[in-house]
Structure 1
């Protein structure tokens, strides 16, 4: 399952979303998630969206319920739940077609073994804990991930982007635009955008060659290096470098590099007045058609449409 499958459950009426707050009510991880969804629920009405908010203790004490999306939420500084309570909450959340965690909730799910083989977005500050507790999950440096029925978000300010993405996916662009306007938000970051310090925090000491390779990629966007060049510069064979990327980032170096360049292109389309051709050249694409095709494959629309979306009211 993916975005397409997630959008289909938005057709169910009413759609029921369960948020389990295991942290502080004023933490940005929680507020950034719940406030956009509350505004959306108020605008659409209970016949379309029902938002259920529970503490772990409340959820564990209730009879099992029915919901379409269930998320376990906690700020990264929150101490783990007692084991028995955590198991009960996770069991209830997993009964939903789409379920997962935000912030520290992601680590608790991974620690429980229910994220084995799943791409997860974890707060970079918890990477050290994950190395010891959640070896079988695939940590990514992204702001959030949708991997099959599993939804994860690193929390913090990214909770807002995650909530707004859920709103657009489930209820459409108009619903998202209404909430963005209410919150005075101009730009929503996508799932492919990365936590700025995540790579260095996780790999700087444990995998310095990987961190060095990514740094080289980020420094050579306009004139991309070949995979062989990068491997030579960091002192590895091509096969060793590919193995590192596959193990820790779930991607080949060439694919990861291409996504970096396309993410930079997206930022330039949104934040500058350079022509689309110029943006392509600045991100290492010698052909406009190649740039457009690659951009569309990653983001689902063309560079021209990206710029038009930026210019649209509420876009």
Structure 2
């Protein structure tokens, strides 16, 4: 049976288009990740009338993920090729097998595991991508990204996954550009991924904002009770032990950087203060954070500047100086090189978003 349809407010069925979303819940799918997607879709229905979002939840064997004490969803079974009783698809072992096309504009694959040994599922995913072509967007949530990669659906694309799996996937799926960002979306919007958990809210806010405009994304952020939605450029917040790599020297260096954003320390000074050579410090950063100390330090400062631009009323120059940039042009150039927009553009876009009606796309 399909999951109950979302309750939408002030929709006009005779004029509103429909966008159908399919949620594939694989073993280990996290309740928080699924709930984040459903909440974002339901809120979007309440905030605009141009499109009604409906959804259905699917599993492999008709069994919901093990969420003790909670029976939230009534999923239906994915008709995989060769599965007993499955009437869709071609002959066993046929590349043309994999079932009929989903009636959906968005397929989200959720998983908490990366055991990629089910060829029927991989074939089904490839078939859906082929049938969906330019029509259906496909997103990997948490371990779902690993399944999409194994199916060959992320070749040449940037993708993300929970940070503890990145290193292994870089070895297993080298055709994918794995990142430690919160979420990723390609230029067409047809391939997406996120790290799972609350990152599903960030990804859905970005996807819905792409479809309906920045104003809706802002309204959705407020409706979801978020201080802000995290951008695609933001790194995952790794557990402290993982981020520091159990290295006291690295932990000390990171603490020094975070405490000195307004007056950045030279790399040589950071190394001296933690008692290692510059080369040793660079090796630590490369090993545990895959970045040079100077680059990581710059990203810390720019991300803080972005938060201040979005959330404070300080002038652009004040923000630049407080984040360690010596002048307005220095700040603007570094910001544009990293975010592909100037600090003034950042401010202007946020202001313009609040002046547009919800659901109206930017010019």
**TM-score, normalised with respect to structure 1:** 0.71
Contact residue 30 and residue 110 of structure 2 kept, 8 A: no
User: Shift of the alpha carbon at 1:104?
Assistant: 1.8
Name 1:163's counterpart in structure 2.
Answer: 204
Compared with structure 1, are the counterparts of its residues 215 and 189 closer, same or farther at alpha carbon in structure 2 (3 Å cutoff)? same
Alignment correspondent of 1:87: 122
Specify which of 274, 281, 286 is matched with residue 244 of structure 1. Answer: 286
CA distance in 2, matches of 1:219, 1:134: 37
Aligned to 1:71: 108
Contact residue 276 and residue 303 of structure 1 kept, 8 A: yes
Instruction: Name 2:237's counterpart in structure 1.
Output: 196
Query: Which SS does the other structure have where 1:188 is aligned?
Result: coil
Cα distance per residue 1:103-130 (max 9 Å; x no partner): 1212333455654554322223445764
1:285 to 325, 347, 351: 325
Matches within 5 A, 1:57-206: 57=60, 58-61=77-80, 62-65=99-102, 67-74=104-111, 76=112, 80=115, 83-95=118-130, 96-97=133-134, 98-112=137-151, 114-115=153-154, 118-127=157-166, 130=169, 133-134=172-173, 137-147=176-186, 149-197=190-238, 201=242, 204=245
* Structure 2 portions without partners, runs of 5+: 1-16, 61-76, 81-98, 359-363
Q: Give the structure-2-normalised TM-score.
A: 0.63
Q: Which moved more, 1:161-170 or 1:196-205?
A: 196-205
What is the correspondence of 1:2-81 to structure 2 with a 5 Å cutoff? 17-22=21-26, 27-41=31-45, 44=48, 48=51, 50-57=53-60, 58-61=77-80, 62-65=99-102, 67-74=104-111, 76=112, 80=115
Q: Is the 8 A contact 2:183 2:232 kept in 1?
A: yes
Distance 1:131 1:296, change over 3 A: closer
Query: Is the CA contact (8 Å cut-off) linking 2:308 and 2:319 kept in structure 1?
Result: yes
Q: 2-side partners of 1:141 and 1:208: how far apart? A: 22
Query: SS state of the match for residue 245, structure 2?
Result: helix
Cross-structure match for 1:4: none
Seen in structure 2, the aligned counterparts of structure 1 residues 211 and 192 have a Cα distance that, compared at 3 Å, is farther
Equivalent in the alignment of 1:3: none
Flag the 1:274–1:14 CA change in 2: closer, same or farther, 3 A.
same
What 5-or-longer segments of structure 1 have no aligned partner?
Answer: 1-12
CA displacement 1:10-61 (0-9 Å, x = unmatched): xxx765544323367881111112221233246555x745544331433445
Q: Which has the higher helix share?
A: 1
Q: State the match for 1:9 in structure 2.
A: none
Please report how far the alpha carbon of residue 263 of structure 1 lies from its aligned counterpart in structure 2 after TM superposition. 0.3
Tell me, yes or no, if the aligned pair for 1:127 and 1:201 is still in contact at 8 Å.
Answer: no
**How far did 1:73 drift?**
1.7
* RMSD across aligned positions (CA): 4.3
Shift of 1:200: 5.1
Separation in 1 of the partners of 2:147 and 2:298? 32
Range that drifts further, 128-137 or 34-43: 128-137
Match of 2:262 among 206, 212, 222: 222
CA distance in structure 1 between the partners assigned to 2:197 and 2:110 by the alignment: 11
| Aligned positions of 1:225-304 closer than 5 A | 225-226=265-266, 235=277, 237=279, 244=286, 249=290, 254-272=294-312, 274-299=314-339, 301-304=341-344
